Structure 1
Amino acid sequence: MTSTSTPSGLARFNGLEESVARATLLEACAARAWADRLLAARPYATADDLYAASDAAMAELTAADLAEAMAGHPPIGRPKPGDPTSAREQRGMAGASDELRAQMLELNLAYQDRFGHVFLICATGRTGEQMRDAVQERLGNSPAQEREIVRAELGKINRIRLARIAAPVEED
């Protein structure tokens, strides 16, 4: 149990040296413009303030910034080897059948061919079937529609990752 005197993860984040804080943010989202905006607004009084700053920064990202952010995400069904965050977020694919894995590979490739980037979805809490259905549905979107869906999904992912940064710190 965390005592009230235990510094929160948010206080720790606020106190990080800028280069360390930048690296922490870039692990959450690879878009440098997003990280720069969040760094510029430190310190944060509450986690909600951090989330609001993230949402505002997401809304301002250009197409190039979004591409940079997406480049930091592995395809669904193929988490980055040795990356616990990637594995945790894609847990819904962990027990997927070989058939579902093959479908996701085919759909990921079709999506990348159509839109020029990885299929991005907030996978946390979703089953492999839900992710397959989402990519199938989104293949019919226009590039402009898909860019805004990606922006929203990335915002959800960022909030989950920021919550881990801002979480209370347990003392040994």
Structure 2
Amino acid sequence: MEATVPEPVSVSTPTSAHSSGLARFNTWPRDLAETSLLECCGSRRWAHRLAAHRPYPDVETLLAASDEAGYDLAPADIAEAIAAESAPCLHHDAPRAAHLALRAAHAAYESRFGHVFVICLDGLRPSQHVDQVLAAIRTRLTHDPDEERSLTAEEMRRLARGRIIELVTEAGRTPDPFPPVAYGPR
């Protein structure tokens, strides 16, 4: 069974959480922005570049910058990002057989390619995750290392996009960690 690749998360209709979250993200101190971006993609070069190019006028521009920075990563930067990832896992109440199958598939993948299996599951229901991951690992185990490295980098870019959307949405829902300080007469 050929693994299908879900479409990237759409952000064509910005929500107020996106807008206010992006506005907050744009004003965060650089180190906070970089640390937050490292949660989206584990490459320090990628996070530094995105933080340095703020402010972004809209989420679409931020996502385009993320993609561009992702395409520009050197192999060492991609390896750094992959090393920060953890393998997709199942909910604790999934059947034991599913956990065993997934653990064996991950081990086979890591043995062949030397790093965790990376896949973006955005847009899929949790009940579809195990089938999608197992099918994708089976397919991708047949790839040569260069083909797999390219596909893994693409999955990393897709993961980063979804995580950036979560980052700016969450920033729009929570109190600003650095509220403006008003200095007035005493």
Q: Does TM, normalized by the shorter one, top 0.5? A: yes
1: CA distance, partners of 2:51 / 2:173: 24
| Deviation of the 1:7 alpha carbon | 6.4
Unaligned runs of 5+ in 1: 78-92
Q: What is the aligned partner in structure 1 of residue 24 from structure 2? A: 12
Indicate conservation of the 8 Å contact 1:96/1:128, yes or no.
Answer: no
- Counterpart of 2:173 in structure 1 is 170
Question: Which residue is equivalent to 2:45?
Answer: 33
Q: Which residue of 1 aligns with 2:152?
A: 150
Q: Aligned partners of 1:60 and 1:127: how far apart in 2?
A: 30
Q: CA RMSD in A?
A: 2.0
Counterpart-to-counterpart distance in 2, 1:171 and 1:60: 32
Cα distance change, pair 171–99 in 1 and its aligned pair in 2 (3 A): closer
Between the aligned partners of 1:171 and 1:105, the Cα distance in structure 2 is 36
Structure 2 unmatched ranges of 5 or more: 1-14, 176-186
Percent sequence identity over aligned pairs: 36
**Cα 1:51–1:7 shift into 2, 3 Å:** closer
Identify the residue that residue 119 of structure 2 maps to in structure 1: 121
Task: Report the alpha carbon displacement of residue 129 of structure 1 after superposing the two structures with TM.
Answer: 1.1
Quick check: 1:100–1:129 contact (8 Å CA) kept in 2?
A: no
Amino acid at match of 2:105: L
- 1:98 deviates by 1.2
Q: Write out aligned runs for 1:38-57 (5 A).
A: 38-57=50-69
Q: Is the 8 A contact 2:30 2:52 kept in 1?
A: no
Q: 1:135-170 deviations in whole A, cap 9, x for unaligned? A: 111000011111111111111111111001222723
Which TM-score applies when normalising by structure 2?
Answer: 0.77
**Alpha-carbon distance between aligned partners in 1 of 2:173 and 2:34, rounded to the nearest angstrom:** 23
CA distance in structure 1 between the aligned counterparts of 2:42 and 2:103, rounded to whole angstroms: 23
Aligned match of 2:98 in 94, 97, 100? 100
* TM-fit CA distance, 1:99: 1.2
1:156 maps to amino acid: R
Structure with the greater alpha carbon radius of gyration: 2
